[in-house]
């Protein structure tokens, strides 16, 4: 009996102590409350928006979002003709010209110019910067979203409604909208570096608070309002107008309830179409699941695919700036830039121009190791980098410890024959696929249910990207990702056991510890 009780209690105790990680229960609750304070502020602002006196509110621009959607994304279903008459048939054709110009000049040309400007200004080798792969993806996202939104718009036409599509849209628009951020936070807490969840909550709070402020300052109408009353309607463009569940009313019919209809009738912000917070929250989940992991994946790839010299130079940037080579010691900087296009993944940047100049033709084909430098300071820096490489990228299980040993709390066991079947689930393919599919499904659901235009969804994506940029620049990269990689490399002390993810702490010393290690 005692043995059975111990077998039940031991995992629970280990789970609780791993979650607390040296904090008290009160401290954990307080830390959680502090981290999600921005989200709570957004919920409070949205709930009490209806208390604002009508006399203090701005004019409602009911047709702005409709016109922006048509001229920036193309009038695929000739909505302009439907709303304004045959005189708009030429304008309906012109929308394809304006939409193509928007895609080419704004969404394609500007990101390319921003990337080139970044490369031209990246001359401070000691400055921290975002991982280049993640930055490229962030710059490309608006154009990719433009293409995806146009394609999904064709699939979400207001016809051919079926019960299956109605329920699928309801599942995404209502259930996943509420649950996906919670699932994402749990995933980040279990599989990512400590502090990632707080950054995620902060990004959600920033984008949603900004979204509510935009709803209040620039009120716009949703598609259902345009389709119900017309783009030129003025009678119903008032703050007394009740909300409408639109396509969700069909779900109420299927379920035999009035929950959706009643809930949207009581909405405190009826004219709050732009930006779509459904889109913003889905995209933010994608950014933290996919983009925030890219630096760790590049480190793991270096350990798996590079030779000893390349791996040694790859983490040279983990050496503190004060110990790095000074002016004139360009060989080491060129070595650090090898195979990664002039940028490193530890939060530092090496000039693309410098690496191009040293390689002659812009393609670095060789890695300069520490033995090839004649300066003593360079030798010391390279030796420190080599030691950091050994700790960070050593095979799990070597000398009784994994990538980071002892105080750094690295993985202590390698995948065994009994646990390797889990490797397919450990690979980021599954999490990346789910995180990518969710915004696409959410975009389709909102358009199918007639709740948002493509323009609303696109602006929601821009709000998410802006919030992510802010949080990543101020918190995620300098104070979470870079610190965590430095601890795993052994170049920074770990007094608070922050080298381990939650899952690694729970399964420390077992055959499953590697499963929760992003560097395994």
pLDDT at 282 over 80: yes
Please write the tens of the pLDDT for every residue from 135-183. Answer: 788 888 999 999 999 999 999 998 889 999 999 999 999 999 999 999 9
The region of weakest confidence among 162-166, 232-236, 482-486, 510-514 is 510-514
CA dihedral (104, 105, 110, 112) positive or negative: positive
Please write the tens of the pLDDT for every residue from 185-208. Answer: 999 999 998 899 999 999 999 999
**Which tops the pLDDT comparison, 360 or 447?**
447
CA distance from start to end of the chain: 38
**17-26, 39-48, 112-121, 410-419, range with greatest mean pLDDT:** 39-48
pLDDT of residue 418: 52
pLDDT at 444 over 80: yes
Number of neighbouring beta carbons within 10 Å of residue 29: 11
For residue 220, the cross-strand partners are 61, 272
The region of weakest confidence among 45-54, 158-167, 278-287, 313-322 is 313-322
pLDDT of residue 461: 97
- Which one, of 139, 187, 245, lies nearest residue 518 by Cα? 187
- Which one, of 302, 231, 244, lies nearest residue 63 by Cα? 231
The region of weakest confidence among 13-27, 224-238, 359-373 is 359-373
Q: How many C-alpha atoms does 34 have within 13 Å on its Cβ side?
A: 7
Please write the tens of the pLDDT for every residue from 128-144. Answer: 455 677 778 888 899 99
Label residue 402 by pLDDT band (50, 70, 90): very low
Cβ proximity of 494 and 405 under 8 Å: no
pLDDT at 347 over 50: no
pLDDT of residue 138: 84
CA distance 109 to 104: 6
pLDDT at 431 over 90: no
Domain limits, the chain: 304-398
Contacts of residue 11, Cβ cutoff 8 Å, sequence gap at least 6: none
pLDDT of residue 310: 35
Q: What is the pTM of this model?
A: 0.78
* Separation in Å, CA 353 to CA 127, 235, 249, 349, 364: 15, 61, 59, 12, 12
pLDDT of residue 420: 55
pLDDT at 28 over 60: yes
Number of neighbouring beta carbons within 10 Å of residue 70: 27
Q: Before 327, cis peptide (omega within 30)? A: no
pLDDT of residue 348: 32
What are the φ/ψ torsions at residue 479 (nearest 5 degrees)?
Answer: -115, -5
pLDDT of residue 299: 67
pLDDT of residue 329: 44
- What share of the chain in percent tops pLDDT 70? 67
Centroid of chain to Cα 24 = 30
Q: What is the mean pLDDT of the chain?
A: 76
**Which tops the pLDDT comparison, 511 or 93?**
93
Cβ proximity of 260 and 249 under 8 Å: yes
- Rounded to a whole number, what is the largest CA-CA distance in the chain? 84
Alpha helices in 306-375 (DSSP H): 308-314, 330-336, 352-359
The region of weakest confidence among 94-98, 148-152, 432-436, 501-505 is 501-505
CA distance 438 to 22: 35
Cβ proximity of 271 and 62 under 8 Å: yes
CA distance 122 to 342: 10
Centroid of chain to Cα 187 = 13
């Amino acid at each position: 009996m005692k043995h059975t009780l111990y077998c039940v209690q031991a995992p629970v105790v280990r789970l609780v102590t791993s979650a607390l990680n040296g904090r008290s229960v009160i401290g954990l609750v307080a830390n959680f409350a502090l981290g999600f304070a921005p989200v709570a502020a957004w919920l409070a602002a949205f709930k009490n928006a209806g208390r604002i006196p009508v006399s203090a509110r701005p004019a409602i621009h009911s047709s702005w979002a409709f016109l922006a959607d048509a001229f920036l994304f193309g009038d695929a279903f000739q909505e302009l003709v439907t709303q304004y008459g045959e005189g708009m048939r030429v304008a309906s054709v012109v929308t394809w010209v304006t939409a193509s110009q928007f895609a080419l000049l704004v969404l394609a040309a500007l990101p390319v110019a921003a990337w080139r400007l970044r490369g031209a200004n990246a001359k401070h080798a000691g400055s921290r910067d975002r991982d280049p792969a993640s930055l490229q993806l962030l710059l490309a996202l608006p154009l990719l979203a433009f293409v995806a939104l146009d394609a999904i718009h064709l699939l979400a036409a207001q016809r051919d409604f079926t019960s299956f599509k109605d329920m699928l849209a309801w599942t995404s628009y209502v259930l996943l909208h509420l649950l996906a951020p919670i699932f994402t936070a749990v995933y980040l807490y279990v599989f990512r570096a400590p502090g990632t969840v707080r950054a995620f909550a902060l990004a959600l709070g920033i984008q949603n608070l900004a979204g509510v402020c935009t709803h209040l300052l620039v009120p716009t109408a949703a598609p259902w309002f345009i389709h119900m009353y017309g783009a030129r309607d003025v009678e119903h463009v008032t703050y007394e107008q009740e909300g409408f569940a639109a396509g969700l009313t069909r779900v109420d019919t299927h379920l035999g309830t009035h929950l959706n209809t009643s809930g949207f009738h009581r909405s405190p912000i009826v004219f709050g179409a732009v930006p779509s917070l459904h889109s913003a929250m889905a995209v933010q989940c994608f950014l933290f699941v996919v983009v925030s992991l890219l630096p760790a994946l590049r480190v793991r790839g270096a350990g798996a695919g590079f030779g000893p010299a390349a791996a040694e130079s790859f983490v040279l940037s983990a050496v503190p700036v004060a110990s790095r080579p000074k002016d004139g010691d360009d060989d080491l900087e060129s070595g650090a830039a090898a195979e990664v296009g002039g940028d490193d993944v530890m939060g530092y940047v090496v000039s693309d121009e410098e690496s191009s100049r040293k390689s002659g033709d812009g393609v670095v084909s060789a890695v300069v190791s520490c033995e090839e430098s004649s300066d003593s300071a360079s030798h010391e820096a390279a030796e420190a980098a080599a030691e950091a490489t050994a700790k960070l990228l050593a095979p799990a299980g070597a000398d009784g410890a994994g990538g980071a040993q002892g105080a750094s709390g690295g993985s202590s066991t390698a995948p065994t024959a009994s646990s390797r079947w889990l490797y397919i689930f450990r690979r980021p393919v599954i999490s990346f696929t789910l995180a990518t599919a969710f915004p696409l499904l959410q975009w389709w659901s909102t358009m199918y249910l007639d709740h948002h235009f493509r323009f609303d969804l696109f602006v929601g994506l821009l709000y998410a990207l802006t919030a992510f940029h802010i949080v990543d620049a101020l918190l995620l990269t300098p104070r979470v990702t870079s610190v965590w990689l430095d601890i795993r490399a052994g170049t920074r002390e770990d007094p608070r056991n922050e080298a381990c993810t939650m899952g690694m702490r729970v399964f420390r010393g077992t055959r499953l510890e590697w499963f929760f290690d992003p560097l395994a």
